[in-house]
Amino acid sequence: MGIVLTPSIEDYLKAIYEITEEKKVVRVKDLAFKLKVKMSSVANAIKILSQKELIVHEHYGYIELTPKGTEIGRELYERHLILYRFLTKILQVDPSIASKDACSIEHYLHPETVEKMVKLLDFISNAPNSEPQWMIKFKKFIETGVNECRYARTLDKLEISKTATIKSINLKNEAKKRLMDMGIIKGEKVKVIKKAPLGDPIEILIKGYKLSIRKNDAKGIEIEEDQEKDAAINNGVEKQAIEDV
């Protein structure tokens, strides 16, 4: 921001910006009420902000932000929103707690850290299925203590001759529909029977049929590997398929 401000003065400037956005005009008593501080504290903060040419304030008049004050106030406000969204959307913190925590830590984060948070939030908000599977699993982990990711695997990692159950297909709509049309759906048993030298494509057995799928598609198929040895997937067809390899 260029201008050095203490955490307390940053809070005042952000509050002035927020009130300006809501009411267009800011009075000293509005600021005192919003921040729950004494009028004398507001007067001292106004003096400092005026000296730094971030606000204009006539005696007993309204408080107005200068262009520079508006710019910094907006940056402080947006940083607060980013932290609040990160705490509530990613970490699943209660909104009332998140609001207080955002105020506590917003003054000390490096701009690069905030930038990375913005990118993570943007990445998640653009997930193909509205919310990535790992976020759904994380919410479940918070609520129940069950960590499904501890055991999560994808089809590309399944060894030849091993059998697994399809848990979910985490691909974009077109790719997901194409696989589902081939019979690759949640709950079906699947077995890897062959892999190309470089691991792409992968030949699988599902519902009694041999299929070849791309490795990138296999990476989006979450599975749970069967623990029972030689689990059958379709009335003995499995055995014949392995002999054909």
pLDDT, one tens digit per residue, over 212-238 is 888 888 888 888 887 654 444 444 444
Q: What is the mean pLDDT of residues 93-99?
A: 93
Return d(Cα 52, Cα 72) in angstroms, integer: 12
Per-residue pLDDT of 69-81, as tens digits, reads 999 999 999 999 9
Q: Tell me which residue has tokens 């190309």.
A: 196
Cβ distance 177 to 139 under 8 Å?
Answer: no
In the numeric block, which tokens belong to residue 147?
């960590």
Where does the pLDDT of residue 154 fall: very low under 50, low under 70, confident under 90, or very high at 90 and above? confident
- The torsion angle over the Cα atoms of residues 131, 132, 136 and 141, rounded to 10 degrees, is -140
Amino acid at residue number 197: P
What percent of the chain stands above pLDDT 70?
88
pLDDT at 152 over 70: no
CA distances from residue 181 to 174, 177, 189, 213 in whole angstroms, order as listed: 11, 6, 16, 13
Q: What is the mean pLDDT of residues 158-170?
A: 86
**CA atoms lying within 13 Å on the CB side of residue 47:** 6
Q: What is the pLDDT of residue 171?
A: 82
Contacts by 8-12, CB closer than 8 A, 24 or more apart: 8/45, 9/45, 9/48, 9/49, 10/76, 10/106, 10/107, 11/35, 11/103, 12/42, 12/45, 12/46, 12/49
Return d(Cα 155, Cα 205) in angstroms, integer: 12
Return d(Cα 45, Cα 102) in angstroms, integer: 21
Q: What is the pLDDT of residue 69?
A: 95
**CA atoms lying within 13 Å on the CB side of residue 160:** 13
- Looking at the DSSP bridge assignments, the partners of residue 209 are 206
* Cα Rg of the chain, angstroms: 28
Give, for 100, the enclosing helix (H) or strand (E). helix 95-105
Q: What is the pLDDT of residue 18?
A: 94
Cβ distance 15 to 63 under 8 Å?
Answer: no
**Domains of the chain, each with CATH number or no CATH:** 1-126 (1.10.10.10), 151-244 (2.30.30.90)
CA distance between the termini of the chain? 65
155 Ramachandran zone, left/alpha/beta (phi>0; psi -120 to 50)? alpha
